[in-house]
Amino acid sequence: MNNRHQKSLGNPVQGTYAVRQQRGVFHRISDGAGRLTKALLFRQPGAEQYPYTEAGKHPRPDRTVVGACPICFNSCPVTYHLAKDRLTAITGVESDPVTKGRLCPKGQFQIQMYNSPDRLTQPLKRVGKRGEGRFEPIDWDIALDEVAERLKAIRDRYDARALAIYTGTRSSWLNKAGAAALFAELYGTPNQEGTAPLCASAAARAFSITQGSSPGGNSFTETDLGSADYYLFVGDNMAETRPVYFGLIHDCRITNGARMVTVDPRQSATAAKADEWIEIRPGTDMALALGMMFHLQDRNLMDIPFLEKHVAGWERLCEFLREKCYTPKWAAAVTDIRETTICRLAEELSNAKRAVVFGGKGLNQHTSGFQANRAFHMLCLLAGHWARPGAGFMNLNRGMPLHAHAPKGRAPIRGPALRKSPTGWIDAMISGRPYPIKAFISTGNPLSTWPGQAKLREAMNELDLVVYMELFPHATSYYADYIFPTTSALEAGDVNRSNDDRRVGWIEKCIDGPGEARSDLHFWVELGKRFGFEDVLKDEYKLDPARFWDEEMIRAAGTRGLTTERMQANPSRWIRGPVAEPGAPEVETLFQDGSVFPGDPKGRQIPTETGKFEIWTDALEQKFLPYGLSPLPEFYSDPDQLTDLPYLKYLASDEEEGVPSPAWGGNALTRPVRIVNEPIQRSPLYDTELVSGRPPAPHFHSWTHWFWQAQEMWPEQFVMIHPRKAEPLGIRDRDRVIIENQHGSIEAVAWVHTGIRESSVFVPIGWDERQKRDPAASVNWLIDHHLRDPISDQTNMKSILVSVRKA
């Protein structure tokens, strides 16, 4: 391929990242990864080259099965094409009312996951040092016996809390909120967590407080979210993170002539499509909402009838905004956005008939993640954009309470989790304070995906037992004592991920996993047997995940109608919750006037204590006292800023107990804080704002880095850098660049363009130093795992000061 085509289209041709991809095949195996994979796998050379053919022939499918795609948070229904016991193609479902047959790249080439020669295929036991990657094969049952024995010894020496369980990205609901959660309850450890505190727990907690329920109330339909005349994206890159949902919204925007504004430090694909892209200082979105709210109340632009009927504490909020002088002028200085722009945005939002604000990780992944979400809730409420079709605030999160629990009295009483965020366990793993964590079971890849990579490696070396259950030999596998090969979705039976649209979709088991790979359910049931848990983690669940779902996962109010039978009855195999009873109807827009929230025992329209959307109440004020915060959104940002802004001082460390966190019902401990406004001594070395975030649509965390086509499309870890930043540093497009700070150092390939704030750089997440192609130390080496939101326990992953130089 050449670049003449671009010229012909009248576009400037640049030496961009795309050029690297044009050069075709890059197939590099690092020494370490090569050794491990050779040691681990019975590889079929060349199998990867023709993944869709068999002996050079196109396999013709003999049947198709419709089911959910398990990969990302778009949760599209797909058609699996099968020839006997082999998956031959994946396409969309044309009849589906939401996706209309559309499907993103990774949804299609996940076939490369099922047919990959790099999959783990047999249990392994470590024979070398941790990190060395030397293993020998072991029998499943013997390995489980040994793990159980070592767990018992650890529990006897310390207590049950000394076991921590992390269920990572590739883990399904059936694992993280199902079998792993049940095992943890029965075993007695509170330290079991999934990806939520790294991802979206700020969004979930904020929604729970404001509206009494964590998923957003609107649906991805033409008549609901598609019908808005104004879209404001704040820290949400939907085009790359939920491409099919964005396709629907964007199509409606063009057809209906709606306006779309994106607020983001970088020009994401979403920002590239918007009518307006506003470059904001990372970590200051909350100030934007505050400035906009000030303008609304100052100019009488609020929806008073809506507020009087449905909102608790809005007058108190208006007083608070005036007391604190959160004027647009103040917000302009904080956010680096012009005052007039802030006022205009507030007016546009207020004037819109139906407006939707999409928040995302740009709000969540800060020490102020919870309050930033809440501030945008308040903004939407003041403008009256909530609880109507085409009007509301959306931010993807864990969603409905789909969760398995042990029967009453069956599980030992557990104290609160040491921290809600698994990164809050790292210090205890190293120092044993406030209590020792000595065993770690991971069904994901923390050695790429957790902040605090250097400390995490230290912690891994301190542990008495590390168990790893995964599809691929990610970096974490090198530190494991035992590796168990697992199956995925179509090889086991599964449900899709949580998604903005509140849809739960079923995936039927259609093919077998490779070699001795077994499902997560199999692992937990078998391990459970060795502790006498078989009365709850029943043997029959191993081969019947649908039964496990129906019997264990849909017990909470509002979820009882989400049965596999109901999913299977839909040609697209999904159902939109909450649905209180098996026969109850699905709800497109929640909280509407005249409706009752599905499954609410008190029959309320809005399932909060006051029955209203809650901005401020006395009870909420009490709830926030233990944190040292108020439900009113007092502004603060992360400490890593190039200008002096208020930030949090932690009144306890991760090596101290802290206090029970009311936002989690006291089930987790947290560190109380104080907002301080003291100037910080900053090192002049670290003069650049690092923002991390999701790479483009073909990638999703660790696993897609083992799909050859995702690596063909986006091979190397890159860093987006502005030409005015790059030039003085002598950095040109495609140069290798070193990015470092006091926590670590990484390398990336420079992508020099103007689609980023001049003082910021952007590095995508997901790369792993042990991935087969284009391995790279993850951006999480640069991130301090201690800087977390006290309420949601989310880590700041998006405003980090670093230095940048040419390698």
Partner 1 sequence: MQLALSIDLERCTGCRACEAACKLENRLTEGIFRNRVYWIAPKYEGERFEFVVSVCQQCSRPACLRVCGAAAISKCADTGVVEIDDDRCTGCQECVQACPYGAISFDHRRHKAEKCDLCADRRASNRGGPACAAACPGRAIKFGNVAALASEARAEDREIRRIDHFGLAPSILYIEHLRRTDRLSNSIDSDE
Pick between residue 333 and residue 557 the one whose CB is nearest to partner 1.
Answer: 333
Residue in the block written with tokens 């546009």: 348
| Among 4, 55, 679, 728, interactor with partner 1 by CB under 8 A | 4
Q: 443 and 520 in contact (C-beta within 8 Å)?
A: yes
Site for partner 1 in 51-70 (CB under 8 A): 51-53, 58
Pick between residue 269 and residue 691 the one whose CB is nearest to partner 1.
Answer: 269
Q: Is 14 in the site for partner 1 (CB under 8 A)?
A: yes
Nearest distance in Å: CB 352, partner 1:
16
Q: Which CA distances in Å does 793 have to 40, 197, 215, 444, 667?
A: 37, 6, 18, 19, 13
Q: 166 and 440 in contact (C-beta within 8 Å)?
A: yes
Instruction: Read off the DSSP letter of residue 512.
Output: P
Reduced to 3 states (helix: H, G, I; strand: E, B; else coil), residue 700 is coil
Q: Is 300 in the site for partner 1 (CB under 8 A)?
A: no
Residue in the block written with tokens 């407080």: 209
Nearest distance in Å: CB 758, partner 1:
10
Of 186-194, 263-271, 316-324, 417-425, the segment contacting partner 1 by CB under 8 A is: 263-271
Of 176-184, 246-254, 514-522, 525-533, the segment contacting partner 1 by CB under 8 A is: 246-254
Residue in the block written with tokens 């076939």: 111
Pick between residue 332 and residue 417 the one whose CB is nearest to partner 1.
Answer: 332
| Among 709, 745, 759, 803, interactor with partner 1 by CB under 8 A | 709
Pick between residue 272 and residue 807 the one whose CB is nearest to partner 1.
Answer: 272
Of 245-253, 426-434, 436-444, 615-623, the segment contacting partner 1 by CB under 8 A is: 245-253
Site for partner 1 in 579-638 (CB under 8 A): none
Pick between residue 268 and residue 297 the one whose CB is nearest to partner 1.
Answer: 268
Reduced to 3 states (helix: H, G, I; strand: E, B; else coil), residue 57 is strand
Q: Is 641 in the site for partner 1 (CB under 8 A)?
A: no
Pick between residue 94 and residue 535 the one whose CB is nearest to partner 1.
Answer: 94
Of 122-130, 241-249, 459-467, 560-568, the segment contacting partner 1 by CB under 8 A is: 241-249
Pick between residue 237 and residue 692 the one whose CB is nearest to partner 1.
Answer: 237
Q: Is 500 in the site for partner 1 (CB under 8 A)?
A: no
Nearest distance in Å: CB 70, partner 1:
16
Pick between residue 104 and residue 186 the one whose CB is nearest to partner 1.
Answer: 104
Strand arrangement, sheet containing 439-442? 135-137, 124-126, 482-485, 465-470, 439-442, 163-166, 192-193
Please, how many CA atoms are within 13 Å of residue 155, restricted to the half-sphere of its CB? 14
Q: Where are the alpha helices (DSSP H) in 365-419?
A: 369-382
* Rounded Cα–Cα distance for residues 450 and 20 (Å): 29
Residue in the block written with tokens 């293993």: 135
Q: Is 180 in the site for partner 1 (CB under 8 A)?
A: no
The single-letter code of the amino acid at 111 is: I
Nearest distance in Å: CB 115, partner 1:
12
Cα angle, residue 444 at apex, residues 441 and 447 outer, rounded to 5°:
90
* Rounded Cα–Cα distance for residues 559 and 69 (Å): 21
Give, for 82, the enclosing helix (H) or strand (E).
strand 77-83
* Rounded Cα–Cα distance for residues 766 and 704 (Å): 9
Pick between residue 106 and residue 522 the one whose CB is nearest to partner 1.
Answer: 106
Nearest to 243 by CA among 783, 694, 754, 626: 694
* Rounded Cα–Cα distance for residues 397 and 460 (Å): 29
Nearest distance in Å: CB 631, partner 1:
32
Q: Is 536 in the site for partner 1 (CB under 8 A)?
A: no
The single-letter code of the amino acid at 564 is: T
Q: State both tokens at 441.
A: 């079971």
Residue in the block written with tokens 């694992």: 175
Nearest distance in Å: CB 100, partner 1:
8
Nearest distance in Å: CB 643, partner 1:
18
Nearest distance in Å: CB 735, partner 1:
15
Nearest distance in Å: CB 244, partner 1:
4
Residues in CB range of 48: below 8 A, 6 or more apart? 116, 117, 118, 708
Of 156-164, 239-247, 579-587, 613-621, the segment contacting partner 1 by CB under 8 A is: 239-247
Q: Is 448 in the site for partner 1 (CB under 8 A)?
A: no
Nearest to 494 by CA among 70, 178, 196: 70
Of 47-55, 284-292, 349-357, 517-525, the segment contacting partner 1 by CB under 8 A is: 47-55
Site for partner 1 in 306-345 (CB under 8 A): 337-341, 344
* Rounded Cα–Cα distance for residues 241 and 744 (Å): 27
Q: Which CA distances in Å does 502 have to 31, 134, 219, 583, 735?
A: 44, 43, 8, 17, 43
Pick between residue 43 and residue 134 the one whose CB is nearest to partner 1.
Answer: 43
* Rounded Cα–Cα distance for residues 641 and 283 (Å): 9
Site for partner 1 in 390-409 (CB under 8 A): none
Site for partner 1 in 727-766 (CB under 8 A): 751-755
Q: Is 378 in the site for partner 1 (CB under 8 A)?
A: no
Of 61-69, 704-712, 740-748, 778-786, the segment contacting partner 1 by CB under 8 A is: 704-712
* Rounded Cα–Cα distance for residues 781 and 795 (Å): 13
Pick between residue 579 and residue 713 the one whose CB is nearest to partner 1.
Answer: 713
Q: Is 8 in the site for partner 1 (CB under 8 A)?
A: yes
Give, for 328, the enclosing helix (H) or strand (E).
helix 328-335
Give, for 266, the enclosing helix (H) or strand (E).
none
Q: Which CA distances in Å does 578 have to 402, 445, 505, 552, 599?
A: 10, 31, 13, 17, 8
Q: Is 13 in the site for partner 1 (CB under 8 A)?
A: yes
* Rounded Cα–Cα distance for residues 248 and 100 (Å): 9
Q: State both tokens at 130.
A: 């941790």
Site for partner 1 in 267-296 (CB under 8 A): 267, 269-270, 272-273, 275-279
Q: 123 and 135 in contact (C-beta within 8 Å)?
A: no
| Among 16, 64, 431, 759, interactor with partner 1 by CB under 8 A | 16
Site for partner 1 in 73-102 (CB under 8 A): 89-92, 94, 101-102
Nearest distance in Å: CB 796, partner 1:
25
Q: Is 251 in the site for partner 1 (CB under 8 A)?
A: yes
* Cis preceding linkage at 434, omega within 30: yes
CA dihedral 103, 105, 107, 113 (to 10 degrees): 160
| Among 243, 422, 577, 715, interactor with partner 1 by CB under 8 A | 243
Q: Is 701 in the site for partner 1 (CB under 8 A)?
A: no
Q: Is 12 in the site for partner 1 (CB under 8 A)?
A: yes
Q: How many residues bind partner 1 (CB under 8 A)?
A: 79
Nearest distance in Å: CB 43, partner 1:
17
